[in-house]
Amino acid sequence: MAEELAQRGSDNSSKSTEHAYPRDLAAFVAARWEDDTGASDSRAPVSHNAPVDPLPEASVLEEVLSTCYQASLLQEEGQPVVFRLALSRPEVFPREGGPPDGLHRLDFPEPRTFDEQELRRLSPATDYPRSIVGVRHDGEGGLRIWGLVHSGPRWLRDRQGGRVTTPPLPPLPVVHATGPGRLEVRKGSRIVGKLDDGALSDASMNVFDSKWLPDGFASSRMELMELHSKARKHALEHEGESWAPLDPDLARMIGSQMFKRLVSTVQNFGRGGTIIFVPPERTEEFSRENRFVALKYRISDDEPRRRFRTLIVEIMNRLAQAHGTADESRAPGMVGWREYQESNDEKVATLEEAILEVAHLVAALATTDGAVVMTKRYELLGFGGEISGKLESVETVSKALDVEGDLVEEEPTEIVGTRHRSAYRLCMELPDVLVVVVSKDGDVRFVRRQGDGVAYWDQA
């Protein structure tokens, strides 16, 4: 098996110099379209009187993707042209409704020309997280822009952290132009094909779907559950409250959402930054002078530096309390992720807002010169950290091609900047450390020791 994976990695490496273009993406998507179920969720906001159209013929799809590709290379008033585009008739979207729970359709009385310059001019009005350009194919009339669809930004919550999400889009072709030469084609809300850096793939890398990432924080989750158990016992003994039992996986889900919120907030600042996660047993070592990271600004060992962890435990406590009962004759049901998502409890909402504020604080600290250092129990040890240049240099790293890093591609470290190379050196030296590097252009890289070397994952 190992030999097979190594060979596949070698094969991928040999193909890495072959660049793909919109025509290749169109063929890639067409070959996979029918195999992908797309957004079949009944919550998808779609008009009952207008069934969703199938994927258009190859020449039409190629024209759409080629135009989107050219538009992505342009700028509008110094800003990159990024947008979402739905290839569909306007009748597919209902006339009523709007964000945050639905879609707000805006029709133009006269369709507009579909070309890269019109997409450029529309891009400021179609704020990427909130709106979608509507395009249809009018037979001999060709492709035309018929209007806009306003969705709101909730659809990003799955990636950026947060408990409230919006219903998925109906299973129609949706093109995301996310940067120069970067295109994604989705069937509703699910990625079918992606063109990035001249390479094709059938999904965005989502490190949060891996096994190794939550495993690295397992001891911290056990600690969260212990703190929650103590609070539960105190409530029963001193307040007479019987709290609902929590799904054992809830701590992981809340922690994952918090992690996403932290990384995406650094990303949204647009200045880049580095966050180093060290295991709890290294807390004392990294709180003072050490040979790995020199912290310019240390945080005192007190409750404020543990606020992230405190807020997670408080959310768990409040959910258990809100779904519990003082009537011991009726056993409360187990509380899990769904109850958290659907909770209308004011205190839960306040606690979630508090987590967002801490994420903003840490993101601001990450924009200073140097790294933020946190423990895997989400304690903030300090910022302005400089990774020692005396650590042994790393000449090559493994680029993970799947979420577990079973399939990799070796590459030299000289092709990246100082920020990434210093992260590689630290992870080579300390196998239990995780480093998240966010570049100025928004790219996110997870770095860790794997086997005898260092591997990284490019997070979508």
pTM over 0.85: no
Q: What is the pLDDT of residues 48-94, one digit of tens each?
A: 445 677 899 999 999 999 999 999 999 998 888 999 999 999 999 88
Give residue 346's pLDDT. Answer: 93
Q: What is the pLDDT of residues 256-313, one digit of tens each?
A: 888 888 888 888 787 889 999 999 999 999 999 999 999 999 999 999 999 999 999 9
DSSP conformation letters of 160-197: H--S--PPPPPSSEEEEEEETTEEEEEETTEEEEEEET
How high is the mean pLDDT of the chain? 86
Map residue 45 onto helix, strand or coil: coil
Burial of 342 (0-12, 13-18, 19+ CB in 10 A): exposed
Can you say how many angstroms the Cα of residue 180 is from the centroid of all Cα atoms in its chain? 20
Looking at this protein, which amino acid is placed at residue 189? S
Give residue 196's pLDDT. Answer: 87
Looking at this protein, which amino acid is placed at residue 460? A
Give residue 2's pLDDT. Answer: 37
Give residue 164's pLDDT. Answer: 59
Residues of the chain where predicted confidence (pLDDT) is lower than 50? 1-15, 39-44, 46-49, 326-331
Give residue 407's pLDDT. Answer: 92
Q: How far apart are CA 99 and CA 189, in angstroms?
A: 16
- How far is it between the farthest Cα atoms of the chain? 76
CB distance 16 to 409 below 8 Å: yes
CB distance 374 to 295 below 8 Å: no
A 10 A CB-CB count for 110 gives 6
The conformation of residue 115, written as its DSSP 8-state character, comes to S
Which residues, 6 or more positions from 56, have their beta carbon under 8 angstroms from its beta carbon?
A: 64, 87, 137, 173
- Which residue, among 131, 122, 125, has the nearest Cα to 99 in the 3D structure? 131
Strands (DSSP E) contained in 266-379 are 273-278, 293-298, 371-375
Domain 208-459 top-level CATH class: alpha beta
- Which residue, among 274, 224, 273, has the nearest Cα to 246 in the 3D structure? 224
Burial of 288 (0-12, 13-18, 19+ CB in 10 A): exposed
Give residue 75's pLDDT. Answer: 92
Looking at this protein, which amino acid is placed at residue 124? P
Q: What is the pLDDT of residues 312-340, one digit of tens each?
A: 999 999 999 999 864 444 445 789 988 99
**Structure-token pair, residue 247:** 């799904």
Sequence spans of domains, the chain: 19-204, 208-459
Which residues, 6 or more positions from 255, have their beta carbon under 8 angstroms from its beta carbon?
A: 214, 217, 220, 221, 224, 312, 378
Give residue 190's pLDDT. Answer: 87
CB distance 220 to 378 below 8 Å: yes
CB distance 141 to 110 below 8 Å: no
Q: How far apart are CA 145 and CA 160, in angstroms?
A: 30
